[in-house]
Amino acid sequence: MTPSGTEAFKRILGGIPFTAELYWLIRQRGKPINTHFSLRGLQTHMPEIAPVVTELRKSAPAGKKVFVFATLHYWIEHAALVGMSLAAQGHKVTMGYLPYADWQKEINMGDLRRQNAYARKVLEQAGSAMEVVSFLSARAPYMPLPPDLVEAVKEVSLYDAQYTLQMEEVDLESDIYKLRYNRNRDIAQAALAWLRQSRPDVVIIPNGTIQELGVFYRVARHLKIPTVTYEFSDQRQRIWVAYNNEVMRQDTNALWQAHLDHPLSEHQMERMRSLMMARQRGSMWENFARMWQGVPSEGGQQARAHLGLDDRPVVLLATNVLGDSLTLGRQVFSKSMAEWISRTVQYFIGRPDVQLVIRVHPGEVLTHGQSMVDVVHEVLPRLPENIRLIKPKDEINTYDLIEVADLGLVYTTTVGMEMAMSGVPVVVAGQTHYRNRGFTNDPESWVSYYKLLGQILENPQQFRLNVDQVKLAWQYAYRFFFDYPQPFPWHLVRVWEDYKARPLETVLKGECSALYESTFRYLVGEPIDWSIERGNGLCE
């Protein structure tokens, strides 16, 4: 059968009840139909997890009515493990899922139904410990969405297109936007119908900003159902958790209020210094799983000589990666990050008395979308002598640039926080977690932005942070890196490797159970106690 004939056959199967499922049973014999939708880890470990959960439930007090939702194979596997862990603690858990392998590619209904049959078969191994609901099968008949959910679907679909294309300007007639809009609208209708009828005590959703995950979050909040979102950073045995909020917003208000009046101890300062030294050197540190620089620090003077910088004031503009979840919807006064960069470059073209160094995020080497290099060259293909553009692959350490900077300009990158930790005055253009914490300059309009630039560049030394502001920046950075993430045994990226090291029974009843106990309570909606010092708690 030709490829086109195969697709036509699958579409026919998709339209006939049960035929796609039977085809999967006969042809695939319980295996995934492609490598992009494999639940092998869950399929392997669920037979050992389910009996443990059943046994632990016998002595657990009755808990909440919990609903966990996920899509894409990696989130389904992780959410299922989270759901089974909560079931073991006495909660009545239902897990809902969508069997998509990709968020950005079309799939015929035949293949989708076969993936659904495969996922259901794997998840049914949970037995009576956890109920399973497929939102492919639970699709509701068409009904008009309330106006706020119509807007929510549009917003998330725009985020999805920006995230996928890694560009901010998106054609609403493009295939990717239409694909995301249709899928997001479908899950909005299905989620609204199901949640109205079931009314769980709490809904748990990974990420909660993009794709069907973001739509489900907004539907739950529309119905005023308590909702918890979670995500992972680059730290092992750590998880970000947010209550009635998108976790990717990194809302640290309550955390900062709890610790604002508590200066760091010498031990805490030493840990922070050690972490910063590792970041500057481009080396691993403790439970952080990535290097922050491609080349080690060589010192500010070397960077100054390499770039040919003279004695004029140096302004360091550090960009984000376009489409990153931490940049979506973070506008304050600009339409987009690209517009902010473009207008800033235009400003400095007219300021030959100042040197602008644009550090394009090194992470762009892993992306395929619009580069900030292109954004800069769209303003002026040949830059004037007072503007330096450092491309993603250029071997220059960002911390060497911080050393020579008189002023920092950022959107949401943590480089802004780190510049403040070095005493450099920083202007923050986007809505980031460290904005308005007492150690940055935070304009609310283009007028105030340009006014700030003019004031600071008139005498940069006068605007350098004082000792108290620098201490405040270090204090906040410590809380963000060490107290904002909660202890958690299984990271998304290495979930089954982590599970082998820390199986469910050990996590819930072993010597490390006290370490994770509060996090599991936060996942089911208990308010986070931000006053707790998290420290270096790891279970090895």
pLDDT tens column, 476-498: 999 999 999 999 999 999 999 99
Please name each of the domains of the chain with its CATH number.
258-481 (3.40.50.2000)
Name the pLDDT band for 539 (thresholds 50, 70, 90).
Answer: confident
Name the pLDDT band for 287 (thresholds 50, 70, 90).
Answer: very low
21 has pLDDT over 80: no
**Distance of alpha carbon 21 from alpha carbon 29, whole angstroms:** 11
> What pLDDT shows up at residue 168?
87
**Distance of alpha carbon 60 from alpha carbon 419, whole angstroms:** 49
Q: Cα torsion for 503, 505, 508, 509, to the nearest 10°? A: -130
525 has pLDDT over 60: yes
193 has pLDDT over 70: yes
353 has pLDDT over 90: yes
> What pLDDT shows up at residue 480?
96
> What pLDDT shows up at residue 23?
47
> What pLDDT shows up at residue 35?
59
> What pLDDT shows up at residue 2?
55
**Distance of alpha carbon 300 from alpha carbon 240, whole angstroms:** 34
> What pLDDT shows up at residue 57?
95
Q: Are strands 407-410 and 426-428 parallel, antiparallel or unpaired?
A: parallel
> What pLDDT shows up at residue 202?
98
> What pLDDT shows up at residue 256?
97
pLDDT in tens, 402-438: 999 999 999 999 999 999 999 999 999 999 999 999 9
Longest dimension (CA), the chain: 76
Least confident of 137-141, 250-254, 480-484, 509-513: 137-141
Rounded average pLDDT over 12-26: 49
Rounded average pLDDT over 389-409: 92
Which H, E and C letters describe 147-184, residue by residue?
Answer: HHHHHHHHHHHHHHHHHHHCCCCCCCCCHHHHHHHHHH
Mean pLDDT (the chain) is 89
pTM of structure:
0.89
Q: How far is CA 387 from CA 255, 344, 409, 496, in A?
A: 39, 11, 14, 48
Token digits for 418? 């780190």
Rounded average pLDDT over 215-242: 96
- Spell 187-218 as b/e; 16+ CB within 10 A means b: bbbbbbbbbeeeebebbbbbbbbbbbbbbbbb
284 has pLDDT over 50: no
Identify the residue whose tokens are 């926080």: 417
- Spell 376-404 as b/e; 16+ CB within 10 A means b: beeeeeebeebbbbbbbeeebbbbbbbbb
12 has pLDDT over 60: no
Least confident of 161-175, 208-222, 328-342, 368-382: 368-382
pLDDT higher for 170 or 298? Answer: 170
pLDDT higher for 264 or 363? Answer: 264
Strand partners, 358: 317, 389
pLDDT higher for 129 or 167? Answer: 129
Name the pLDDT band for 291 (thresholds 50, 70, 90).
Answer: very low
Share of the chain above pLDDT 70, in %: 89
95 has pLDDT over 50: yes
392 has pLDDT over 90: no
Token digits for 185? 């609208």
387 has pLDDT over 60: yes
Angle (CA) 501-504-506 rounded to 5° is 70
Question: Which residues make Cβ contacts (< 8 Å) with residue 540, sequence separation at least 6?
Answer: 501
364 has pLDDT over 90: no
- Spell 264-289 as b/e; 16+ CB within 10 A means b: beeebeebbeebbebbbbbeebebbe
Name the pLDDT band for 11 (thresholds 50, 70, 90).
Answer: low
248 has pLDDT over 50: yes
pLDDT higher for 179 or 5? Answer: 179
Rounded average pLDDT over 311-329: 87
Rounded average pLDDT over 162-188: 94
Across the beta sheet with 130-134, the strand order is 130-134, 92-98, 65-71, 202-206, 227-231, 238-243, 486-487
Rounded average pLDDT over 254-283: 89
Least confident of 115-124, 263-272, 371-380: 371-380
> What pLDDT shows up at residue 474?
96
Least confident of 57-61, 180-184, 393-397, 467-471: 393-397
285 has pLDDT over 50: no
> What pLDDT shows up at residue 147?
97
Coil, helix or strand for 390? strand
> What pLDDT shows up at residue 15?
53
288 has pLDDT over 60: no
290 has pLDDT over 50: no
> What pLDDT shows up at residue 538?
83
pLDDT higher for 328 or 290? Answer: 328
